[in-house]
Amino acid sequence: MSVLDDLVTDLSRVPGLGRKSALRMAFYFLKADPVFLQRLGEGIAHLRERLKRCPRCGNYTERDLCEICTDASRDRRTLCVVEQVQDLLNLQRTGEYRGLYHVLHGVLAPLDGVGPTELGLEALVKRIPAEGIEEVILATNPTLEGDTTALYIRRLLGPQVKVTRLASGLPVGGDLEYADRLTIARSLQGRLAMES
């Protein structure tokens, strides 16, 4: 049954899906509603035509500019730099942030050929004066690559703008006993005064 084999092989290419899960999924499709299958299939086939990157911030959008860049109610003086669109969605979910975003779609990785040009850092730098940004929040991950990228961008932006970095420390609900050494060190470095 080459139609089935081909589908299972393609599904197995999706990260997180092994051959067994792919097979189980294909057999589910074989009994699923044809209208549902048609819609799902077209959703996958045409996803990349229908969703483009916002030319201003890199977020995904179906229009010319994304819904965050065109939202007049947002604070246009603050810009949050993230590695990927998933991070933007997670920040949005907190409801804590009301400013704009800039999605890098990656981190600096010289060994993989990803330098400042590949990340489009020039466009990021230009946004600051062009849009009158007053604070840039660097929200790359607290990993070696994320920290390196944040440091590089910090230097690139120079003194023209206030630059901050997301706090690193113990996760809420976390436990000192199980936290790793680096996280505890960061939480000490970033300790906050408690009002009496």
Residue nearer to its own copies on the CB measure, 44 or 185: 44
**Shortest approach of its own copies to residue 156 CB, angstroms?**
25
**Shortest approach of its own copies to residue 161 CB, angstroms?**
29
Give residues in contact with its own copies (CB under 8 A): 1-4, 6-7, 10-11, 13-17, 21, 23-30, 32, 34, 36-51, 60-62, 67, 84-86
Give backbone dihedrals phi and psi of 53, rounded to 5 degrees, phi first: -80, 135
Q: What angle do CA 12, 89, 25 make, to 5 degrees?
A: 20
**Shortest approach of its own copies to residue 27 CB, angstroms?**
6
**Shortest approach of its own copies to residue 37 CB, angstroms?**
6
The dihedral over CA atoms of 66, 69, 73, 78, expressed in degrees to the nearest 10, equals 140
**Residue 18 Cα to chain centre, angstroms:** 25
Residue nearer to its own copies on the CB measure, 50 or 162: 50
Cβ pair 170, 187 in contact under 8 A: yes
* Neighbouring C-beta atoms of residue 121, cutoff 10 Å: 20
Residue nearer to its own copies on the CB measure, 27 or 189: 27
**Shortest approach of its own copies to residue 65 CB, angstroms?**
13
Residue nearer to its own copies on the CB measure, 17 or 109: 17
**Residue 56 Cα to chain centre, angstroms:** 15
Residue nearer to its own copies on the CB measure, 10 or 71: 10
Cβ pair 67, 92 in contact under 8 A: no
